[in-house]
Amino acid sequence: MTDNLDEKKTLAAEWFAALRDRICAEFERLETELADDMPHADLAPGKFERTTWERPDESGGGGGGTMAVMRGGRVFEKVGVNISKVGGTFSEQFRKEIPGAEESGGAFWASGVSLVAHMRSPKVPAIHMNTRMIVTSKSWFGGGTDLNPMVEVPQDTADFHAALKRTCDAHACADYPRYKEWCDEYFFIKHRNQARGVGGIFFDYLDSGDWDVDFAFVRGVGECFLDIYPALVRRHLGETWTAEDREWQLRKRGLYAEFNLVYDRGTRFGLMTGGNPEAVLMSLPPEAKWP
C-alpha cells in the first residue's frame, strides 16, 4: 500500500508519461500500417513532435509540461497528447471552488495526461481522453473519455461503452452507470441542446480511501483507451468518403470548438489561470466551419 504522498505523486506522473509514450507509439503505428489502397496512402506517415513548456508561478510553484503533437498525418489530421505536472497557489477567489484548497492555504499540485484526436477521415471518430491527479489538502483522481463520431455508428458506440463498462466493473472504486451519466451531462452543448458526441465516462473527485485501488482504475482507463480506440480507428480506416462527409465533419468540429471554449472546465481553467495557451487549446480542431 502506497502511503507516502510524494511517492503517489511520482507514481501518477510517471504513469501519465508512460501512457503518453505508448499512445504516441500506437498512433504512429496506425500512420505507418495504412494500406496502400486506403484513402490518404499518398501522404507521408505522420509523426509526433514534442515541445516542453515551463509554468512561471510567482507564488513559488511552477512545473510545466510536454506537448506531443502530430499534424497532417494520413490518419490523424491533428492530435495532441499533453502531459503536465504543475504546482503553486490558487488565488483567494479560485480556491473556494476547489475541494481542500482553502485548508491548504491555496497550495495545489496537479499532474495529468490529456488527449484530443481530430481525424483526417470523416468516417473515423474523433476522441478525447484525460486522466489527472490533483492534490490540495485532499487528493483525488479525475478523468474520462468520450467518443465523437461525425455520424454515429451504433456498433462503435456499443463497443466503446462496453469496453468502458468492463473497465469500471473490474475496479471496486468505479461506478459505471454514474460515470456514463456524468459524461452525458458534462459533454452536452446546452445552447445547441445537443450532445457533443456519443458519450463515454467522466469522473472527478475520486477518492475511495484506498489510493492504490483508485490509481489502478485510472491506469485501467488508460489501458482501455489503448485497447478500444485504435480498434475503432482500424475498423473505418479503409472507408472512402465524399466532400459532403467532409463538410459535415467541419460543422461537427465547429460544435466541438464551441463546447471547449464555452463550457469545458479544463480549457477555461487553463485560459483563466494563465496556462500555456498552445497546450490548453491543442484540443481545437485543425479546421472547422460555421457556414
Q: What residues contact residue 195 under an 8 Å CB cut-off, 6+ apart?
A: 184, 187, 188, 189
C-beta of 205 vs 290, nearer to a second copy: 290
Chosen residue from 37, 190, 242, 243 binding a second copy by CB under 8 A = 190
C-beta of 116 vs 233, nearer to a second copy: 116
- CA–CA distances in Å: residue 38 to residues 43, 93, 232: 11, 53, 16
CB of 268 to a second copy, least distance (A): 7
Q: Please, are residues 124 and 75 in contact by the beta-carbon 8 Å criterion? A: yes
CB of 97 to a second copy, least distance (A): 16
Chosen residue from 12, 127, 173, 280 binding a second copy by CB under 8 A = 280
C-beta of 234 vs 251, nearer to a second copy: 251
CB atoms within 10 A of CB 63: 17
**71 lines the binding site for a second copy (CB under 8 A):** yes
Instruction: Give the integer Cα–Cα distance in Å for 109 and 260.
Output: 23
Closest CA to 7 of 164, 211, 229: 211
Please confirm, yes or no, whether 171 is among the known catalytic residues.
no
Chosen residue from 254, 265, 266, 269 binding a second copy by CB under 8 A = 254
Chosen residue from 35, 60, 191, 209 binding a second copy by CB under 8 A = 191
C-beta of 124 vs 284, nearer to a second copy: 284
Chosen residue from 40, 250, 266, 269 binding a second copy by CB under 8 A = 250
CA dihedral sign of residues 115, 118, 122, 124: negative
Q: Please, are residues 83 and 93 in contact by the beta-carbon 8 Å criterion? A: no
**43 lines the binding site for a second copy (CB under 8 A):** no
Q: Of the residues 40, 118, 128, 236, which is catalytic?
A: 128
**289 lines the binding site for a second copy (CB under 8 A):** yes
C-beta of 216 vs 261, nearer to a second copy: 261
CB of 57 to a second copy, least distance (A): 17
HEC letters along 189-240: EHHHCEECCCCEEEEEEECCCCHHHHHHHHHHHHHHHHHHHHHHHHHHCCCC
**277 lines the binding site for a second copy (CB under 8 A):** yes
C-beta of 157 vs 267, nearer to a second copy: 267
CB of 288 to a second copy, least distance (A): 6
**213 lines the binding site for a second copy (CB under 8 A):** no
Q: Which residues face 127 on adjacent strands?
A: 117, 147
**286 lines the binding site for a second copy (CB under 8 A):** yes
Cell numbers linked to 207: 477518492
Q: Please, are residues 183 and 107 in contact by the beta-carbon 8 Å criterion? A: no
**258 lines the binding site for a second copy (CB under 8 A):** yes
Helix (H, G, I), strand (E, B) or coil at 159: helix
Instruction: Give the integer Cα–Cα distance in Å for 274 and 61.
Output: 13
Active site residues: 128
Residues engaged in binding a second copy (CB under 8 A): 71, 78, 190-192, 250, 254, 257-258, 261-262, 268, 270-272, 274-275, 277, 280-281, 284-291
